[in-house]
Amino acid sequence: MKLWGGRFENQTEKAAFDFQSSIHIDKRLYKEDILGSIAHSKTLNKCGVLNDDETNKVIKSLNEILDDIENGVLDIGMEYEDIHTFIEATLTERIGELGKKIHTGRSRNDQVATDFRMYLGKEVDLLVQLLKDLEKALITISEENLDTILSGYTHMQKAQPLTLAHYMMAYFEMFKRDIERLLEVKNRIMIMPLGSGALAGTTFDLNREYTCQLLGFEDITYNSLDGVSDRDFAIELTSDLSIIMMHLSRFCEEIILWSTEEFSYIEMDDGFSTGSSIMPQKKNPDVAELIRGKTGRVYGSNITLLTMMKSLPLAYNKDMQEDKEAVFDSIDTAKACIGIFTEMIMSIKFNKERMLIASEDGYTNATDLADYLVRKGIPFRETHKISGQIVQFAIKHNKKLSEISIESFKSFSNLIEDDIYKEISIKTCVNKRKLIGGPAGEAVIKSINRAKKFLNK
CA-CA distance, 206 to 245, in Å (whole number)?
42
CA-CA distance, 307 to 304, in Å (whole number)?
5
Catalytic member of 24, 264, 276, 397: 276
Q: How many CA atoms lie within 13 A of 371 on its CB side?
A: 11
| Contact by Cβ (8 Å): 206, 255 | no
CA-CA distance, 174 to 246, in Å (whole number)?
10
The span of 255-263, 285-293, 315-323, 380-388 binding ligand ARG (CB under 6 A) equals 315-323
C-alpha dist (Å) from residue 442 to 139, 243, 412, 431:
15, 30, 34, 8
The span of 55-63, 128-136, 183-191, 318-326 binding ligand ARG (CB under 6 A) equals 318-326
| Per-position x/- string for 189-208, each x denoting binding to ligand ARG as judged by CB under 6 A, each - no binding | --------------------
Contacts of 442 (CB under 8 A, 6+ apart): 431, 434
| Residue 294 CB, nearest approach to ligand ARG (Å) | 25
Q: Which residues of 52-81 are buried (b: 16+ CB within 10 A; e: fewer)?
A: eebbebbbebbebbbeebeeeebebeeebb
- Which residue lies nearer to ligand ARG by CB, 175 or 316? 316
- Which residue lies nearer to ligand ARG by CB, 24 or 177? 24
C-alpha dist (Å) from residue 383 to 95, 336, 373, 374, 389:
87, 51, 6, 7, 10
Peptide bond into 315 cis (omega under 30): yes
Q: Site residues for ligand ARG, window 3-32 (CB under 6 A)?
A: 22, 26
Strand 219-220 versus strand 191-192 pairing type: parallel
Residue of this chain nearest to ligand ARG (CB atom): 321
Q: How many CA atoms lie within 13 A of 278 on its CB side?
A: 0
- 150 lies in the binding site for ligand ARG (CB under 6 A): no
Residue 384 annotated among the catalytic residues of the structure:
no
The span of 157-165, 214-222, 314-322, 348-356 binding ligand ARG (CB under 6 A) equals 314-322
Distance of CA 448 to the CA centre of its chain: 21
The span of 118-126, 274-282, 292-300, 317-325 binding ligand ARG (CB under 6 A) equals 317-325
DSSP code, position 283: -
CA-CA distance, 435 to 412, in Å (whole number)?
30
- Which residue lies nearer to ligand ARG by CB, 323 or 371? 323
CA-CA distance, 328 to 317, in Å (whole number)?
20
| Per-position x/- string for 69-108, each x denoting binding to ligand ARG as judged by CB under 6 A, each - no binding | -------------x-------------------------x
| Residue 21 CB, nearest approach to ligand ARG (Å) | 8
| Residue 299 CB, nearest approach to ligand ARG (Å) | 23
- Which residue lies nearer to ligand ARG by CB, 112 or 131? 112
**Single-letter code of the amino acid located at 235:** I
- Which residue lies nearer to ligand ARG by CB, 108 or 294? 108
| Residue 453 CB, nearest approach to ligand ARG (Å) | 42
| Contact by Cβ (8 Å): 171, 247 | yes
Q: Which of 206, 320, 355, 394 binds ligand ARG (CB under 6 A)?
A: 320
Q: Which residues pair with 266 in a beta bridge?
A: 350
| Residue 224 CB, nearest approach to ligand ARG (Å) | 14
- 321 lies in the binding site for ligand ARG (CB under 6 A): yes
How many chain residues interact with ligand ARG (CB under 6 A)? 9
- Which residue lies nearer to ligand ARG by CB, 166 or 324? 324
Q: Which residues pair with 235 in a beta bridge?
A: none
| Residue 320 CB, nearest approach to ligand ARG (Å) | 5
The span of 181-189, 313-321, 363-371, 378-386 binding ligand ARG (CB under 6 A) equals 313-321
Backbone φ and ψ of 59, nearest 5°? -65, -40
- Which residue lies nearer to ligand ARG by CB, 73 or 78? 78
| Contact by Cβ (8 Å): 27, 79 | no
Residue 224 annotated among the catalytic residues of the structure:
no
| Residue 122 CB, nearest approach to ligand ARG (Å) | 18
| Residue 334 CB, nearest approach to ligand ARG (Å) | 22
CB atoms within 10 A of CB 284: 15
Q: Site residues for ligand ARG, window 107-126 (CB under 6 A)?
A: 108-109, 112
- Which residue lies nearer to ligand ARG by CB, 1 or 73? 1
- Which residue lies nearer to ligand ARG by CB, 101 or 103? 103
Residue 103, burial from CB neighbour count under 10 angstroms (0-12, 13-18, 19+): middle
Catalytic member of 155, 277, 311, 405: 155
| Residue 323 CB, nearest approach to ligand ARG (Å) | 7
Give catalytic residue positions.
Answer: 155, 276
Which parts of this chain interact with ligand ARG (CB under 6 A)? 22, 26, 82, 108-109, 112, 318, 320-321
